[in-house]
Chains A and B, each alone.
Chain A
Amino acid sequence: MSFTLTTPSGFWNPLLWLIFLVLFGIIAYLIYSRGNPSYKKNTEQIKPYLSGNPEPTKEKVQVKAGDIYWGFIEALKEYYKVLQAIHTGDMRDYILWYLGIGAIITFILIGGV
């Protein structure tokens, strides 16, 4: 059984990829093992330093899904305004889109374009 998938412009071999993954994994482990030897688990070292303020609860420090990619969404605000405007959730709009697209496709197919 061959592992190599031949594509129109090249090939893909998952076995080779796995070999490289293991190789890079070993290199990463070697770098990791040369880390700071004075680090100790379950001591003061693992607590964040917040200028002497008490550590907030875990619920408060967790990054919520709504905050992730805030910048990306803000940058594309106008694009999302359009997208949200067309996603009305109204059944009548669903059917209108269907009829509109159907009319355009049929028009193209009967030679209108």
Chain B
Amino acid sequence: MMEHLPALMIAVPLFGAFTAPLFKKHYREVSIWTIIITGITVVLSLLLAKEVVTGGIMVYVFGADKPTLVLPSGYSVPIRIMFEVDAMSVFMAISATLMSFIGALYSYSHVERETGLEKYYALLMLLEVGILGMVLTGDLFNLFVFLEIAGIAGSALVGFRNYRGEASEAGIKYLMVSSVASLMVLFAVGILYGQYGNLNLAYIAKNVSFNMVDMIALGLLFTSFAMKCGAVPMHYWVPDAYTEVPAGINPPLLVATYASLYALFRVSFTLFANVVIDLARVGWIMSILGVLTMFIGVTMALVQKDVKRLMSYHAISQTGYMLLGVGVGLTVLHDPSKLAEFGRDAMAGGVFHIINHIIYKSLLLMTAGALFYVTGTRNLNEMGGLARKMPITAISFMVGAAAISGLPPFNGFASKLLIYETSYRLNPLLTVFAMVTSVLTLASFVKVFASAFLGPPLEKFENTREVPKPMIIAMVILAALCILFGLFPNLVLDKLVYPAVDALINFAQYHSWGGLA
């Protein structure tokens, strides 16, 4: 049973997605069905994590006599589609399953007034399939296929409220951006397949010769995944999509964005890890993109009046921290002394920030969804005095805002501390930008808190009440995680983050399919 876990991770939500349309017009039942399916995937991802942490890289070859048969007798190259699951994949898989579960739980009440919910939940589970496939696969073409699945499901969900013109527009924009990025990924995969006659990630990584055509493939992959993860100046689709998508989809959509960031790391560390000279260049490009992303994201957020749009710009800004942390690590990857001194910790900061950000940004977007649910508006100018009416939402918002601003002892602080300290060692200017961004983030969330929750109670919100229980439970779980991850950063770093970072650094393990060939 355990050896089939990687396949089950895809099969279970896929089964859930295909059976969801059978619940047509039974909206409560389809919501509960989705909560059960996504709950099962959380358990499966935790089991998978246990297997990988104790036994090392897990390989699953589809259609082989044995799931671990990488090279059939007489073959020197892998011929079948395979999943290769290391600690980094597991780290992302846990994020994906947890956020899909939280999203399903929150959606139970949040979208109850909408119609066509069997399609909504089917798409939610398909989005989860797409993300999980992207982070578990060891095959480049497979990566493209799952990128497409996540992109199509994501864009349909962004445009789900199609009675709103803005939602339809945002959905089409997301679809176009995803299609262009996917097309270029496919083009790069074609280039590599043409040269090496194989699509297996580890096989190509071992044989890649770093000629000009390979570098063009790297450029295409790097830019496409950078756009999909919302790096500045290719971030324009992010505020459109995050603002219009129902708040219950925000958590899995965030993870879908970071699945592209994962793909960017996978390409840079695993596929092209042996490029000694150019890798430092790639690291610097990543770090500079990171600084630009964080600063432009936060300054744009500061002037927004739409609460979800403001938070969407912050999502862009926080992606910059991850790019900076991992970029610093990538710059010194082939310098053992610097890697040991600060490179590994920089990457740990960047990777830790992924899960931290997924947690607190999902929480903040859910509180924005709760404000929209009760007030019917996202315009901050029209809100005020809601803390008395919605105390749990207000407290959850405060926790999320403190976490994203890097205030101790919440989770954002620990990852930002690692990024500040290590980026300083590469270039102090990088740290200055990172710290100024944090100050502006806090300023921006003070604005949201003051205008939405504080101030005198407004007459028009006299009959306003706190949001329904499922939405509260989803927010409270995430707020609790913000506090727990902040109080026990060591636990998360040792059990999840450092194994993921080491999996990226020790690419030779991945190249040998975990020692199987």
* Interface SS of B by simple majority: helix
Contacts of B408 in A (CB 8 A): 12, 14, 17
For chain B, residues 434 to 458, give those with C-beta under 8 angstroms from any C-beta of chain A: 443, 447-448, 450-452, 455-458
How far is B236's CA from A102's CA once the two chains are assembled, in angstroms?
15
Nearest residue, chain A, Cβ from B300: A83
Within B480-517, the residues touching A (CB, 8 Å) are 486-491, 493
Contact B490 A94 (CB under 8 A): no
- Contact of A5 with B489 at beta-carbon distance under 8 Å, contacts A83-B300, A110-B215 already known: yes
CB of A97 within 8 Å of the partner chain: yes
**Smallest CB-CB A-B distances: 4 pairs:** A106-B219, A65-B380, A102-B223, A58-B456
Q: Are B236 and A97 interface neighbours, CB within 8 A? A: yes
Interface set, chain B 194-253, CB cutoff 8 A to A: 212, 215-216, 218-220, 222-224, 226-227, 233-234, 236-237, 240
**Which residues of B are interface residues toward A (Cβ below 8 A)?**
172-173, 176-177, 180-181, 184, 212, 215-216, 218-220, 222-224, 226-227, 233-234, 236-237, 240, 278, 281-282, 285, 296, 299-300, 302-303, 305, 341-342, 345, 380-381, 383-385, 408-409, 413-414, 417-418, 421-422, 425, 443, 447-448, 450-452, 455-459, 486-491, 493
| A14–B305 CB distance below 8 A | no
Residues of A contacting B341 in the complex (Cβ-Cβ under 8 angstroms): 8
Known: A61-B456, A109-B216. 9 other contacts (CB 8 A): A2-B490, A5-B417, A10-B421, A12-B489, A58-B456, A65-B447, A65-B451, A69-B443, A106-B223
User: Of all chain B residues, which has the CB nearest A110?
Assistant: B215
Q: Is the CB of A4 within 8 A of B282?
A: no
Cα distance A14–B483 in the bound complex, in angstroms: 10
B457 lies within 8 A of A102 (CB): no
Residues in B with CB closer than 8 Å to A14 are 408-409, 486-487, 489
Query: A53-92 vs B: 1/0 string, CB under 8 Å?
Result: 0000011011111101100110010011001001101010
Q: A68 contacts B305, CB within 8 Å?
A: no
**Which A residues from 5 to 40 make CB contacts under 8 A with B?**
5, 7-10, 12, 14-15, 17-18
Chain B residues within 8 Å of A76, by CB: 299
Which of A9, A58, A72, A86 contacts B302, CB < 8 Å? A72
Contact of B451 among A7, A64, A97 (CB under 8 A): A64
* B296, closest chain A residue (CB): A83
Contacts of A86 in B (CB 8 A): 233
Across the interface, which residues of B come within 8 angstroms of A9, CB to CB? 421
Q: Is the CB of A94 within 8 A of B458?
A: no
**CB of A1 within 8 A of chain B?**
yes
Report the tally of A-B residue pairs with Cβ distances under 8 A. Answer: 150
A10–B417 CA distance with the chains assembled, in angstroms: 10
A101 to B422 alpha-carbon distance, docked (Å): 27
Asked if residues B409 and A87 are in contact (CB atoms below 8 Å), the reply is no
Are A62 and B455 closer than 8 Å at their CB atoms? Answer: yes
Shortest Cβ distance from B381 into A: residue: A64
Which A residues fall within an 8 A CB radius of B? 1-5, 7-10, 12, 14-15, 17-18, 58-59, 61-66, 68-69, 72-73, 76, 79-80, 83, 86-87, 89, 91, 93-95, 97-98, 101-102, 105-106, 108-111
Q: What separation, in Å, do the CA atoms of A15 and B417 have in the docked complex?
A: 16
Given contacts A8-B341, A14-B408, A66-B305, contact A109 B218 (CB under 8 A): yes
Check B451 against A68 for contact (C-beta < 8 Å): yes
Q: Which residue of B lies closest to A57 (CB)?
A: B459
Q: Is the CB of B223 within 8 A of A94?
A: no
- Chain B residue at smallest Cβ distance from A95: B180
Closest to A5 in B: B489
Q: For residue B486, which residues in chain A have a CB less than 8 angstroms away from its CB?
A: 14
Enumerate chain B residues within 8 angstroms of A101, measured Cβ to Cβ. Answer: 223, 226-227, 233-234
A22 to B150 alpha-carbon distance, docked (Å) = 46
Nearest A-chain residue to B379, judged by Cβ: A65
* CB-CB under 8 A for A80 and B303, given A97-B234, A97-B236, A106-B216: yes
Which of A3, A68, A94 is within 8 Å of B237, CB to CB? A94
A108 to B414, CA, bound (A): 34
Chain B nearest Cβ from A82, distance in angstroms: 10
B221 nearest CB across to chain A (Å): 10
Q: Which of B302, B305, B443, B451 contacts A63 (CB 8 A)?
A: B451
Task: Give the shortest distance, in Å, between B336 (CB) and chain A (any CB).
Answer: 15
B422 adjacent to A8 (CB under 8 Å): yes
User: How far is it, in angstroms, between the C-alpha of A14 and the C-alpha of B486 when the chains are bound?
Assistant: 7
The answer to whether A63 and B489 touch across the interface, beta carbons within 8 angstroms, is no
